[in-house]
Amino acid sequence: MPEEFNMTVNEYMPLRDVVFYTLRQAILKGEMEPGERLMEIQLAKKLGVSRTPIREAIRKLELEGLVIMIPRRGAEVAGITEKALRDVLEVRRSLEELAIELAVARMKEDDIKALEAARIEFREALNTNDMIRIAQADEKFHDVIYAGTYNDKLVQLLNNLRDQIYRYRLEYIKDVGKRQLILIEHENILNAVKTRNLELGRRAMREHIDNQEITISRKLNSL
């Protein structure tokens, strides 16, 4: 049973939802590993709740594909599958290519400065070797691009995918050998925005996401 996560109480949210989001975040961030069993009694004790909201949360997590039920074992964290990876990254690739197209055309000078600052923050995060900090810095870099599209509906769609993207982002960053490649890809994306080069932006973003999919797929196939 992991010790890293704790429940954050939200007075405006029903307890069952707080428990669900707490467990969901723990899985997506890798605090609960694939194959790890979700023991109702232990989770209830750790989070200071009854077993009922734990049971309800596990059912919802199963519907999302983050938890699977194993006969005679119960619930456990689902592993990453190639289909789930492909499904999410196909959608992400299309949305982020649109995002970079709009960002190249619409980003203002202040937006570009913010993107440069996010690139530097990511580079500095690499020196910490802290996976969570690196993943959050990568997420921030992309958030600046989303904001620079000035398209609220596109930002909303990308935010709806945020948690699922985060799971794969973190999995990719676990590969230490790929971290410098991500930095180079960020530089290429930034250069595309600075030079208003639409084709470079599309190509750089596509390669950025393709490399993530290829790396994780190889890891899955090697297991």
Tell me how crowded residue 175 is: count the other CB atoms within 10 A of its CB.
15
Q: Do residues 41 and 109 share a domain?
A: no
Residue type, 120: I
Overall pTM > 0.85:
no
pLDDT in tens, 97-152: 999 999 999 999 999 999 999 999 999 999 998 988 999 999 999 999 999 999 99
Q: Where residue 87 sits, what CATH number does that domain have? A: 1.20.120.530
How many domains does the structure of the chain reveal? 2
Structural domain range at position 27: 15-77
Last-in-domain residue among 50, 77, 104: 77
How far is the first Cα of the chain from the last one, in angstroms, to the nearest whole number? Answer: 23
Q: What span, in angstroms and rounded, lies between the C-alpha atoms of 98 and 94?
A: 6
- The answer to the question of residue 7 being in a domain is no
Pick the closest to residue 143 from 129, 122, 127 (CA basis).
Answer: 122
What is the average pLDDT value for the chain, to the nearest integer?
91
